Amino acid sequence: MKYAVLGMLIERRGYGYDLANRLQRRLGPGFRAAFGTVYVALDQLAKEQLVAEAKRVQVGRQVKVYYEATPAGVERFAAWMRESLSREPLRGELYLKLAVAQGAHLALLRNELERMERDCLREIAAQATLEQLDGGAAEIRWDTAVRWLADAAVIERLHGDLRWIRMAVRTIASIDDDGNVPRAALLQAAALASAA
């Protein structure tokens, strides 16, 4: 969360409540940007001198403290965007990076997503040894059934991750020079992923 807040400040300065709202609009309802988490992130970023106070504005009894990214903050953000991603959990850090990525960072994310796609395919191939239930004994021991369910859950999650990763890669690939994605490209990415 900390570096997503930093990315929002690189785009333009802001204060805690404003940043939480901007980030929540980017992430949508599937990912909650808690206000308290944003304030904690701001404190950490300030202590690390990645952001600095830009101005204070008195609004009634409240004081809005506006922050902006420091040059060290811009460098650290760029380093964070270059860091490798993990699919566990897929939505965590990846969603945050997608929310604040622009320009060259999108190409980095696309490369990471393509790597994740290859990893998914390798893991799916490795799970191909899943015990088949057709044929064989009429009854299966409970411990065997539990193992089968666990393996099936892994395979289903991998296929779901793979579909979403392919949607994300296609969406990033369709961004135009102005930073827009054609609606038709989104619909096509969704259709291809659901057909997979």
What pLDDT, in 10s, does the model give residues 145-174? 777 787 788 888 888 889 989 999 999 999
Average predicted confidence (pLDDT) for the chain = 85
Within the chain, residue ranges assigned H as helices are 2-11, 16-27, 35-47, 71-82, 92-100, 104-126, 142-173, 183-195
Q: Is the dihedral of CA 131, 132, 133, 135 positive or negative?
A: negative
pLDDT for res 129: 59
Judged against a pLDDT cut of 60, whether residue 181 lies above it is answered with: yes
pLDDT for res 15: 93
Kindly report, residue by residue over 4-53, the tens digit of the pLDDT. Answer: 899 999 999 999 999 998 888 877 665 677 788 899 999 999 999 999 99
pLDDT for res 91: 61
Q: Give the number of residues written for the chain.
A: 196
pLDDT for res 48: 97
